Each structure stands twice: as structure tokens, then as C-alpha cells.
Amino acid sequence: MSTAIVRVSSASTEHRDGLPTAIRPRRASISERLWAALLALGALAVLATAAWLEPSEEGHGTHERLGLRPCVWVATMDTPCPTCGMTTAFSHAADADFRASFATQPLGMALSVLSAAAFWVLAHVSITGSTAARLCTNLLGGKLLWISLGALLAAWAYKLVTWGGS
């Protein structure tokens, strides 16, 4: 019985960084990097706008300082809408006043912090080609919709309890 030794060239099994091809992480494609750059710019625009706005003392209505109309829900029902206070919470968080941000709208504060984190992750992906964004989305998977819906309902319940009126 003869034993054959097969030699595989190192060019096919190793990358220039010395890691075996099988364990070397795949880089983000050009289109993934462009999407990451666009999303990072979007997150930055939201955060910059929030930093520019002066938060409303009432805990809602800050969006009107952008030239938007008053909330129809509040005007007709005198109760907060499900997203009531989000812009105000973002504005407080952009000013690093996390206590006021949380008191205004807990989900708004959480989303502002997540927006800032998303900006940095997406900027990193667009610049380096890292697959960190793919890892973040894979961790949440299909649960994200249910988590978001539960958080929105809990934040709305909080806003209903703490509502001071228009």
C-alpha cells in the first residue's frame, strides 16, 4: 500500500496577512460599505439636528421648531401619541442631559444612544470594510421587530402615565 502526500500550495490556503483563508473574516463589499456610509450620514444628520434644536419645556412639541405642524393626535385627543416626546428626548440626549431625555421619553433616549452607536459602527464599516454591522444585525435577527414594538408600547404607557397635558 502506497501513501501519497499531497502538497497544497500556500498561495491557495493563506492570505497575505498570514491567516488561513478558511478563518480570515470576509470584508464588506463595496455596496455594503456605501450603504453603511449613507446610513452613517443619516444617523449623523438626525443627531446634528437634535443637537441644534432647543428642547421644549413641555416635554413634547420640539418638532414644531423644525417648521412641522403640531401633533394632530395631541390636539384632538389631549393625550400623547405613541411617539410623543421623541424629538425632545433626542434633543436632551444630544445635549448630554440623559436624565431629562429619559424623563421625557425613555424610548427616545434609548434610540438616541443607539443612533450614536450606529453612527460609529456604520462609519467604521464604511471606512474599514469591517463586517461589524452584519454581526450586530445577526445578533437581533427577527426579534428586533417584537422588541421594538414592546419598547414602543412600554414608552407610550409611560408617557400616558406622566402626561401633563398640552
pLDDT 10s digits, 93-102: 999 999 999 9
110-166 residue pLDDT tens:
999 999 999 999 999 999 988 877 777 676 667 778 888 999 999 999 999 998 766
Domains of the chain, by residue range, sit at 33-67+76-162
How much is the mean pLDDT over the chain? 84
* 40 CB-near residues (< 8 Å, 6+ apart): 118, 119, 122, 123, 126
Calculate the alpha carbon distances from 61 to 48, 75, 104, 162 in Å. 18, 11, 11, 15
CB–CB of 58/91 below 8 Å?
Answer: no
Amino acid letter, residue 81: C
CB–CB of 159/84 below 8 Å?
Answer: yes
Q: To the nearest 5 percent, what fractions of the chain are helix, strand and coil?
A: 65, 0, 35
Q: How far apart are CA 126 and CA 73, in angstroms?
A: 39
Q: Is residue 6 predicted with pLDDT exceeding 70? A: no
Q: Is residue 10 predicted with pLDDT exceeding 50? A: no
Higher pLDDT, 32 or 89: 89
CA angle, corner 82, sides to 105 and 122, nearest 5? 65
Percent of the chain clearing pLDDT 70 (strictly above): 81
Calculate the alpha carbon distances from 47 to 13, 34, 95, 117 in Å. 45, 20, 10, 11
Q: What's the pLDDT band for 19 if we cut at 50, 70, 90?
A: low
Amino acid letter, residue 110: A
Please compute the mean of the pLDDT values over residues 46-74 and round it to a whole number.
92
- Give the predicted TM-score (pTM) of the model: 0.77
